[in-house]
Structure 1
Amino acid sequence: MLITARRVSDGRPLRTRRHRGRPGPVHRSGFRATLPLMEPIIIDEIREDLSRRIAVAADRLAERTLADDPAYAALLGRTELRDRIHHSLAQSVDGLVRSSRGLPVELADARATGTLRAEQGLPLASLLRTYRRGGRLLWHTLTEAVTAHDPGALPRLLPLASVLWDVLDQMTDAVAEAYRRTEAARCDRDRERRAALLETLLDGGGAADGPAVSEAAAQLGLPERGRFAVVAVGPGAAGGVPAEAPAAAGPRVLWRVRSDGGTGLVDLGRHPLEAVRELLAPLGVRAGISPVVEAPGDLPRARWLAALALRTVPAPAGTGAALLDERLPMALVAAQAELADRLRQVVLGPVLALPAEDCRVLLGTLGTWLTCQGSTTLAAQRLYCHRNTVSNRLRRLEQLTGRSLSDPAHVVELSLAHTAYLQHPASAALRRPRPRRAP
């Protein structure tokens, strides 16, 4: 304390005392509050009555929380919640006393609470709302206790208000930080667990009707019998797929995303298979969709069929979702790469040997004619040329290949060979025989 002197009217010095302020807690803004020197502080004088009032306050807050918040009511009983609230309020008072004396606030219990509630799945909003209510209730309890002790002592409590709010902020921050850290770790564990379950179902981690498959399906919330499909997404586009498509957007889709593409397990329920294509449309990806299967044990084969359907979508610039059952001839060619290559060379070899531009024109005309269901007139309209031009090109193609477009068997060969060319145009170009030089 500082001793100061002043003189009164008779000239004698009068000794008076002036309190030296002492530093209080450092707030998050960096400002350090200065508390008046009070020994003992008012909390020490009312501690016994305050302890009794805090117990009553904990009862009131527990009842209100259980009545207002279904999440708490589903998680904790009244006694357990009341005990936790009582402990938290007592910790807040202890933090107030420590902070007023320049000591750090103990936050271990607050962090433990945040971790526990995150693991239990209590919403963070519920947890923080109870902490805020507890802070307001604690201040009200403090003022009641001081008033009952000595109404004239209330001014001694007021300097502690800012200290209490800072303590409550520290505790709330500690709770929220621990909660978010735990929740992030839990989400990582959930993703890893779901990925392992999807591996079991999509890659055939056991017998089709084995316990591993049944357990994986049950843990993912899939029925033992239902309507399922698999989606295969091309590489480079899987980053646009969500972890799980919301149920409101259509059928439920569980995604497995890798660097070489994505695979989606679709629980169709009552949705038609076409709904999967509608769900994929906004993503702008290349995708193949398997036929419907009825049991989780059939999903590995459905995954293979979806990958086959994906190979019927032109790459790399092509987009769109292909239903396998709509592209069976193309899928047949894609499934037998060696035979497809042989078919392409045997049927279209003389055309592929032409100069690149001639080859492109003839095969483009053939593709358009096939798309137009054999109508030369419609093909000419799409190619912006005269009908006779289309006829001449097709006649030349018949001469080169030795196949007649009026023979259904030959049309099938040409169509499949053309599909093989579209799926691997670069390969066809590489295999094109080089023209011989004149001797």
Structure 2
Amino acid sequence: MVRRGPRRTAGHGLHLRPEAIEEMRSRLPQVADETVAAIIAEVPSYRGALSGVMGENIRTAVQLALGGFISLAARRRGADAGTPAAPATEGAYQLGRGEARSGRSVDALLAAYRIGARVSWREMSATAVRNGVDAETLASFAELVFAYIDELSAASVAGHTDELATSGRVRQRLLERLVHHLLTGAAPQVVQAAAERAGWEPPTTLTAVVVPESQVRPVVGALSPGTLQAAEDLPGLDDRVLLLVPDAGGRARGALLRAIEGRGAVAGPARPWLEVPSSVDRALRALRAGIGPDTEEHLARLVLTADPEALADLRARALAPLEGLRPATAEKLAETLRAWLLHQGRRDDVAEALFVHPQTVRYRMGQLRDVYGDRLEDPAVVLDLTLALALDDAAAQTSSRASSASAS
């Protein structure tokens, strides 16, 4: 189906008697009032909206439109002293922009035009008939009325569309500025002011979610409409995008995790919205460590990998007594000691975890007591060993996750 453009009024051949034109012009205020009243009565979006300054602006726009039409109808073909409809067309364009700012849809605006055309035609045609206009001229008059309404409504739709596009871009820039203030730790009053300018209602919490660029659209579509997206590149993001999701903590976290499931995303913890940088930091650290998608399930691993150099030093000190042994023996003893600590000395459980006989566990623990002595009874040493040996488990699981991600 080919979409028809608006009918044109230029070059019309209509000629009305001066008396008819004069009477129409004298009735402009009354026709404008009747048009506005009909719009209020028949278009729900305009009920209660056409009082005060707004109502006066609409009435002025209606009179301007009707006046432009009468000036157009009064012109003979070939007269070229300007475009009488131009001010009315500009007014219609600005009306469309104003209606978009007021939150009314283009459908409501077009409905108002249809009603305006009906009321105007009823009044003007009655005036034309009273002034002896014949049937053929009246038909041409009707065609000109509706062509004129076509032009005005097309101008208003263009204004409405342009305003939405402009306001959308402006709001997006304001939201990007808000995210910048949040991530750079700006003063609370600065962030609050940025949220107000952007028309963004602050939530109780925000949760940082790092998502691959290719998955942003489906993930955002499943999240709260108030979700913010960082426009600037952050270190460590690479080809990923940072989202800040409102009120996705507690019971709501399940919905968030379902939205990112299988999409290679990482979700940080929910934090008070002004403290969201801490959620961002954790999500990025988890991303670097190959941990995800829910950082809340890997807190111990995140703690262990927070300072790799300190952990390496702790490991070297805690396992120093094994340095004099053959590497294969030292590795087996370290593995046994880790299982012993995790299973709180339950020999059968340790044997099952290591796939060895309980007597083998007993033998190895004897070797460990030979090299560590009474230090295995010291709580401080036990803590150091637990942390040092936990790295083996964290590293193994991290490597496994990284391998899985590469394979996928």
TM-score range, shorter chain: 0.5 to 0.7
Residue 241 of structure 1 and its aligned partner are, at CA, apart by: 3.8
Question: Is residue 22 of structure 2 the alignment partner of residue 51 of structure 1?
Answer: no
1:167 aligns with 2:140: no
Q: Give a deviation string over 1:164-218, Cα, whole Å, max 9, x none.
A: 3233222211211122122101110101011101211232123xx5x31342355
Gaps of 5+ in 1: 1-26, 381-386, 429-439
Q: What is the match of residue 109 of structure 2?
A: 127
Residue aligning to 1:149: 131
1:198 to 152, 176, 179: 179
Structure 2 counterpart SS, 1:290: strand
User: Of residues 294, 297, 319 in structure 2, which corresponds to 1:321?
Assistant: 294
Higher normalized strand content (fraction of residues): 1
Count, aligned residues = 360
CA contact (8 A) 1:341 1:420 kept: no
CA distance in 2, matches of 1:143, 1:165: 12
| Distance (Å, rounded) in 2 between the aligned partners of 1:217 and 1:374 | 56
Structure 2 residue 302 is matched with structure 1 residue 331: yes
What is the distance in 2 between the residues matched to 1:171 and 1:272? 50
Give distance in 1, aligned partners of 2:194 and 2:312: 40
Structure 1 residue 281 corresponds to structure 2 residue 254: no
Q: What is the TM-score normalised by the length of structure 2?
A: 0.67
Deviations 1:209-234 (A, max 9, x none): 5x3134235555556xx731322314
Whether the 8 Å CA contact 1:344–1:418 is kept in 2: the answer is no
Corresponding residue of 1:136:
118
SS of the residue aligned with 1:159? helix
Distance in 2, matches of 1:62 and 1:182, equals: 23
Deviations 1:53-104 (A, max 9, x none): 3322210221233344345634753333222212122223444556965877
Aligned to 2:394: 419
1:61 aligns with 2:25: no
**Cα distance change of structure 1 residues 370 and 321 upon mapping to structure 2, 3 Å threshold:** farther
Superposed displacement of residue 158, structure 1: 0.4
**Residues 291 and 170 of structure 1: CA distance in aligned 2, closer, same or farther (over 3 Å):** closer
Alpha-carbon contact 1:289-1:321 (below 8 Å) kept: yes
In 1, Cα distance between equivalents of 2:346 and 2:73: 89
Which moved further from structure 2: 303-312 or 122-131? Answer: 303-312
Q: Is the 8 A contact 1:376 1:391 kept in 2?
A: no
**2:190 matched to which residue of 1?**
212
* Counterpart-to-counterpart distance in 2, 1:374 and 1:137: 92
| 1:263 to 2:242 alignment | yes
TM-score normalised by structure 1 residue count: 0.63
Q: Tell me which moved more, 338-347 or 255-264.
A: 338-347
Is structure 2 residue 161 aligned with structure 1 residue 188? no
Give the match for residue 117 of structure 1.
99
* Maintained 8 Å contact 2:340/2:350: yes
CA RMSD in angstroms, aligned pairs only: 5.0
The CA deviation string for residues 377-398 of structure 1, in whole angstroms up to 9 with x for no partner, is 9999xxxxxx798338xx79x9
**Rounded Cα–Cα distance in structure 2 between residues aligned with 1:254 and 1:112:** 31
Task: Give the number of the structure with larger relative contact order, counting CA–CA contacts within 8 Å between residues 6 or more apart.
Answer: 2
Distance 2:111 2:6 in 1: 26
Letter in 2 for 1:216: A
With over 3 angstroms needed to count, the CA separation of the structure-2 counterparts of 1:339 and 1:29, relative to structure 1, is same
Residue 327 of structure 1 deviates from its aligned partner by 2.1
Given the alignment of the two structures, is residue 242 of structure 1 paired with residue 220 of structure 2, yes or no? yes
C-alpha displacement of 1:281: 1.6
Moved more, 112-121 or 92-101: 92-101
Letter in 1 for 2:390: S
Over the matched positions of the two proteins, sequence identity in percent amounts to 19
Which stretch shows the higher mean deviation, 50-59 or 112-121?
112-121
In 2: Cα distance, 1:99 partner to 1:235 partner: 65
**Out of 48, 58, 61, which is 1:81 matched to?**
58
Q: Hey, which of these two has a bigger chunk of helix by percent? A: 2
User: CA 1:375/1:290 → structure 2, altered by over 3 Å: closer, same or farther?
Assistant: farther
